[in-house]
């Protein structure tokens, strides 16, 4: 069952965003996509859209002012935001940065390939896994009965 909801792209590079949006179109991403060009803008967006949060955030790490680590930490430490799937999409392949991203709660870490064909393959794999096949976690605060559990009424 495809994931409904929007995808938030957070990246300070307009060229990278434009390329990503072209790849989304080529691989068939049909979710609405919103774009923020920095950490401060992303945080402001999330505060203003609390009733319509994205289901997936693609997050660049290296941005001026508030970087991706700051955004990731703010999102994953906030009870209202922590269920957003955050996928780091960065040029970095530094093991320390990868570890820090996972320590802060990143759901995945993808290194942007230089080769356009490889980038398209990666975006297609992202789409198939996270949008088409992944089962999103139920919203927190909703009681879910365990299979076979009897009603206590």
CA distance 24 to 147: 38
Mean pLDDT for the stretch of residues 131-142: 71
The answer to the question of residue 25 being in a domain is yes
Query: pLDDT confidence of 153, banded at 50, 70, 90?
Result: very low
The answer to the question of residue 147 being in a domain is no
The answer to the question of residue 80 being in a domain is yes
Instruction: Enter the tokens of residue 68.
Output: 């991706």
The answer to the question of residue 62 being in a domain is yes
The answer to the question of residue 34 being in a domain is yes
- The reported pLDDT for the residue numbered 5 is 86
Number of domains within the chain: 1
- Higher-confidence residue of 133 and 57: namely 57
- The reported pLDDT for the residue numbered 111 is 95
CA distance 113 to 122: 8
The answer to the question of residue 153 being in a domain is no
- The rounded percent of the chain whose pLDDT value lies above 70 is 88
Domain extent, residue 22, equals 7-133
Residue-wise pLDDT for 68-120, tens only, equals 999 999 999 999 999 999 999 999 999 999 999 999 999 999 999 989 999 99
- The rounded percent of the chain whose pLDDT value lies above 90 is 78
Q: Which CATH number characterizes residue 26's domain?
A: 3.40.50.2300
CA distance 52 to 4: 12
The answer to the question of residue 152 being in a domain is no
């Amino acid at each position: 069952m495809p994931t409904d909801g929007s995808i938030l792209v957070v990246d300070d590079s307009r060229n990278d965003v434009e390329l990503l949006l072209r790849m989304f179109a080529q691989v068939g991403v049909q979710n609405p996509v919103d774009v923020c060009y920095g950490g401060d803008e992303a945080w402001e967006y999330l505060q203003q859209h609390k009733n319509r949060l994205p289901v997936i955030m693609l997050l660049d790490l290296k941005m001026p002012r508030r970087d991706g680590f700051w955004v990731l930490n703010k999102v994953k430490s906030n009870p209202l935001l922590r269920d957003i799937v955050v996928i780091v999409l960065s040029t970095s392949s530094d093991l320390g940065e990868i570890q820090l991203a996972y320590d802060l709660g990143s759901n995945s870490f993808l290194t942007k390939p230089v080769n356009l064909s490889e980038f398209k393959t990666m975006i297609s794999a992202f789409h198939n896994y996270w949008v088409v096949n992944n089962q999103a976690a139920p919203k927190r605060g909703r009681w879910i009965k365990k299979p076979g559990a009897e009603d206590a009424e």
